[in-house]
Structure 1
Amino acid sequence: MSYAYDPLAERPRHYLTPENTSAFEHIVDRYPMPSVGLGRPEVSDLLYEGGRNVDVVPAELYSRYDVKRGLRNADGSGVLVGLTTISNVHGYNKTAEGVVPDEGRLTYRGYDAAELISAAQREGRFGYEEVSYLLLTGQLPTQAQLDDFRARIGSRRQLPEGYLRIFPRTTFSPSIMNVLQRATLLLYAFDNNPDDTSPVHEVDVALSMLGRWPRVASIAHQAYVGARTGVVPTVPPAREDFSMAETILDVLRGDEGFTRDEAMMLDVMLMLHAEHGGGNNSTFTCRVLSSSGTDAYSAYAGALGSLKGPRHGGANAKAGEMVDDAAEHIEDWSSDDQVVDYLTRVLAGKAFDGKGLIYGIGHAVYTKSDPRAQIVKGYARELARKKGTAEAEKFELIERIERLAPEVMRDVRGITKPLCANIDLYTGFVYHMLGIPKDLFTPIFAIARMSGWAAHRMEELYGPARIIRPAYNSYMQAQPYVPLAERG
């Protein structure tokens, strides 16, 4: 069986070994990283402090000029900047009286995401590839089309010949998201025509990312752990017949293996993270870059950088850490009073990370409910029950946080708008049950979201054909020039 052109089709060795990690060590030894900020003269301190003093615009000017801060309207809703047929994120209705909260709904190409997930689970099959095909083509696949689509991704699991001899020296980092960015940009160099933006090439690059990112993330994680422990990382040979969920667990677990229930749970997470509208920060970043006509690798690297942020994709790791901290510091998990006391201290900056935020509660679009969180809860509850008492009790603690946090935020902060748990509140717990390391929580989110990014990139490339360029009003005073010798 033959498949479409793969821009990165060369086959490397199956295993990462000492022989192909040492090629560039002499470069690192010869050119060490600089010590940023050390030894600077005191007279240059304005360089570090000046920006925060200069770049302050009076708050009233935003109202005077009707500036949409953060591309948000005054009522908190997003500024309408485009039209899409890819997905719809519904959390409120806009009426003449203003924004009216509503139950959350998520649809992919017109299909309810909950129905797509329940159908796959009911039939005992993996659904992420079906969702990816739907997002990329706008149609649900036939069985033959789905099999072919999976085979095309599977045939791209391997990394290009020579890639691992260059890549490992850049992977010794605690931020796997930054590694994924570098890895994606490096793949540009292995493409014979990387700046081609034709539909065929765009689809092939997207399939290459879907095929290779799980292995890149696993290699990066193992290389970082290996650099600290001295253990030489090994990555199992690619299984071209595995689904995305199975592939991720396989490259992480290796000989340890995984269960069908675990893979099906991860598949649910991948389907829910596959797409979330054109206005979310990382997808909009992808569309902005794509509107300039830049290459696919640059656009996806930019989207990865956005998703890393703790206000976006990185929130899943923060929410998981907060739940772990709550479990450690709340003596009786079944006590509403103790949970309320903990959450109150979090908001006061006296518990967890001191930033005064309850992670996993509230959303920019969803008001009464986040449909993703509601879907995850059902499957997570069942998996926790199968895992044992400790997981089941921790799940109940998370449910208690979900129920009590909005009340605490209303009492402490005076927030009146509806607040619901978002998917981040449960993501960390689910990944913990699946044995996924914390530094891979957000990379797995990114792997899943690749389908949505690709769909939006192509819609931007072949649709509006107009570079995205919002306006910023200049707020500054005219300054007389002072010769260098006369400056005090």
Structure 2
Amino acid sequence: MKTLKTIYMESEKENYIDASLYPRYRVKAGLRNDNGTGVKVGLTKICDVVGYQYIHGKKINVDGKLIYRGYSVQDLINDPNFAQLGNYERIAFLLIYGKLPNAEELSLFTQELLKKRNLCNIDPKYQTTSILNGVQIEVLKLYGQDPNPDSDTLEERMLKGLSILAQIPLITFSFFTGQQICEYPLPNKSLAENILVMARGSNIYTHQEARVMDTLLVLHADHGGGNNSTFANVVISSTGTDIYSCISAAIGSLKGPRHGGASTKVYQQMKEILKVTKHSRDPELMKNIAYQLLNKDFFDKSGLIYGIGHAIYTISDPRCQCIKAECKKLAKEKGQLDTFYTLEAFENAAIDVMKKEKGVTACANVDFYSGFAYSMLGISESLFTPLFCISRTAGWIAHHLENRQSNRKLIRPANVYVGSLKKLEDDNHENDHSI
């Protein structure tokens, strides 16, 4: 007996597109050039991601740089002015407004966020198996609560964006705990500190724990206009629709395992490596595990070494370097330096194996140490990607506003039709409509 499912499975060839057709029609699959670089689809002043340069037509790998509004993220994190907590709030201001805030401006910003954190109508008990799915729904519900949700002035869109930025953490932890959370437990403290308290149910934390969380938020705040969730946000923004729809779509993109879920995979891989090595740092053992991963003989048998390699960064990922330095300090505080050094040994071995087996220059990416950082902080795996979402919201808002101000064109690329041309009389579907 036929069902719609079996009919669809039988028609698989109708939906299959031969991969060889992409170069034939000069279509850039995944919006990637043949040399692995991204197809240029826009202009931005918000963020730049640098991993290579072209000199006289030749691609030259360089040390990675992540630039927020002209500032190196490493310089920002290492600056003495960022020694205290609350750096994420400063970076969110920088991304949205284009400059680092002075004390008065930062106070105005944080007070505005505090005013918008009075959300008391979250229903975390309706059925959803995903925190991010719940966040998407609640962000869309904010549209219904807004008396003028479709206002298209930049100032109104900015204020609506701040409302989303302020409320997403409360929405996230309402779904995580299953309890409605209407305000922050520590209203006069940083977002990083409040996250630790809400995630662990305790207001006891060390400065270094909060520093690690603050650093993770800063490093995930933006990553250029080409990453999948930001690009999804910008594509939808170009239609002129409301900011709630745009941010909700970006969350849907981030939820995908090929985008926001990488730190979870790296953490699961790390646990399996530690089981085998028992904290050994033997280089040959580490290389053997890396070869097994590539040969689909270890962990999830995907042939991937999670946490190693990046689409843009080649020699180094600046985000990885920043969080690695903070992780080492926290590992010392937690008595987990053995685990840190084991991971570092595997990082070095995996990079060497990738060079020998794949012939590519690869580096550890930000996810390599992020899962370890979250585990030392006592953060549940189910929060890894939602925390990414909380952080990236600042970047999404910034790109949304930039698009609405500077690029009013509807983003509408083209596809090449590669199906056949048919005549109705050629179809044999028994569509006899005679009486």
Query: TM-score of the superposition, structure 1-length normalised?
Result: 0.84
User: CA distance change for structure 1 residues 43 and 126 in 2, over 3 Å: closer, same or farther?
Assistant: closer
Judge conservation of contact 1:214–1:251 (CA < 8 Å) in 2.
no
Percent of pairs with identical residues: 38
Q: Secondary structure at the match of 1:294?
A: coil
The offset of 1:358, in angstroms, is 0.9
Alignment of 1:263-278 (within 5 A): 263-278=210-225
Aligned equivalents of 1:172, 1:59: Cα separation in 2: 36
1:190 corresponds in structure 2 to 145
Quick one: which of 91, 98, 104 aligns to 2:64? 104
Alignment of 1:442-453 (within 5 A): 442-453=385-396
1:69 partnered with 2:57:
no
2:358 corresponds in structure 1 to 415
1:55 partnered with 2:11:
no
Q: Deviations over 1:453-476 (max 9, x none)?
A: 101001111111001111110001
- Per mean C-alpha deviation after superposition, the further-off stretch among 368-377 and 392-401 is 392-401
Aligned equivalents of 1:478, 1:382: Cα separation in 2: 64
User: CA distance change for structure 1 residues 272 and 330 in 2, over 3 Å: closer, same or farther?
Assistant: same
Quick one: which of 387, 403, 409 aligns to 2:348? 403
Q: Secondary structure at the match of 2:201?
A: helix
Judge conservation of contact 1:273–1:449 (CA < 8 Å) in 2.
yes
1:205 partnered with 2:150:
no
User: CA distance change for structure 1 residues 236 and 135 in 2, over 3 Å: closer, same or farther?
Assistant: closer
User: CA distance change for structure 1 residues 276 and 51 in 2, over 3 Å: closer, same or farther?
Assistant: farther
1:128 corresponds in structure 2 to 88
- Per mean C-alpha deviation after superposition, the further-off stretch among 269-278 and 178-187 is 178-187
User: CA distance change for structure 1 residues 120 and 262 in 2, over 3 Å: closer, same or farther?
Assistant: farther
User: CA distance change for structure 1 residues 201 and 50 in 2, over 3 Å: closer, same or farther?
Assistant: farther
Aligned equivalents of 2:182, 2:205: Cα separation in 1: 14
2:169 corresponds in structure 1 to 214
1:88 corresponds in structure 2 to 48
2:101 corresponds in structure 1 to 141
1:360 partnered with 2:307:
yes
User: CA distance change for structure 1 residues 51 and 121 in 2, over 3 Å: closer, same or farther?
Assistant: farther
The offset of 1:235, in angstroms, is 4.6
2:283 corresponds in structure 1 to 336
Aligned equivalents of 1:343, 1:456: Cα separation in 2: 38
Q: Deviations over 1:424-458 (max 9, x none)?
A: 01111101111111111111111111111101001
User: CA distance change for structure 1 residues 299 and 51 in 2, over 3 Å: closer, same or farther?
Assistant: farther
The offset of 1:171, in angstroms, is 5.5
Aligned equivalents of 1:363, 1:119: Cα separation in 2: 26
Can you give the 5+ residue segments of structure 2 that lack an aligned partner in the other structure?
A: none
Aligned equivalents of 1:177, 1:257: Cα separation in 2: 27
Judge conservation of contact 1:171–1:220 (CA < 8 Å) in 2.
no
User: CA distance change for structure 1 residues 453 and 64 in 2, over 3 Å: closer, same or farther?
Assistant: same
User: CA distance change for structure 1 residues 256 and 242 in 2, over 3 Å: closer, same or farther?
Assistant: closer
1:394 corresponds in structure 2 to 339
The offset of 1:125, in angstroms, is 3.5
User: Cα RMSD between the aligned structures?
Assistant: 2.0
Q: Secondary structure at the match of 2:430?
A: helix
Alignment of 1:273-292 (within 5 A): 273-292=220-239
Judge conservation of contact 2:355–2:362 (CA < 8 Å) in 1.
no
Judge conservation of contact 1:214–1:247 (CA < 8 Å) in 2.
no
2:116 corresponds in structure 1 to 156
Aligned equivalents of 1:294, 1:112: Cα separation in 2: 33
The offset of 1:172, in angstroms, is 4.5
The offset of 1:330, in angstroms, is 2.5
Can you give the 5+ residue segments of structure 1 that lack an aligned partner in the other structure?
A: 1-40, 224-232
Judge conservation of contact 2:170–2:182 (CA < 8 Å) in 1.
no
Alignment of 1:278-317 (within 5 A): 278-317=225-264
1:78 corresponds in structure 2 to 38
Q: Deviations over 1:121-154 (max 9, x none)?
A: 7532421111111111111111111111111112
Judge conservation of contact 2:139–2:248 (CA < 8 Å) in 1.
yes
Q: What is the letter of the counterpart of residue 124 of structure 1?
A: Q
Judge conservation of contact 1:150–1:243 (CA < 8 Å) in 2.
no
Judge conservation of contact 2:50–2:312 (CA < 8 Å) in 1.
yes
1:430 partnered with 2:373:
yes
Aligned equivalents of 1:385, 1:307: Cα separation in 2: 32
User: CA distance change for structure 1 residues 48 and 355 in 2, over 3 Å: closer, same or farther?
Assistant: farther
Q: How many residues align?
A: 429
2:420 corresponds in structure 1 to 477
Judge conservation of contact 1:269–1:376 (CA < 8 Å) in 2.
yes
Aligned equivalents of 1:311, 1:329: Cα separation in 2: 26
1:349 corresponds in structure 2 to 296
The offset of 1:200, in angstroms, is 2.2
Judge conservation of contact 1:347–1:357 (CA < 8 Å) in 2.
yes
The offset of 1:206, in angstroms, is 1.7
Query: TM-score of the superposition, structure 2-length normalised?
Result: 0.93
Aligned equivalents of 2:301, 2:169: Cα separation in 1: 33
Quick one: which of 390, 396, 404 aligns to 1:461? 404
- Per mean C-alpha deviation after superposition, the further-off stretch among 117-126 and 391-400 is 117-126
The offset of 1:302, in angstroms, is 0.8
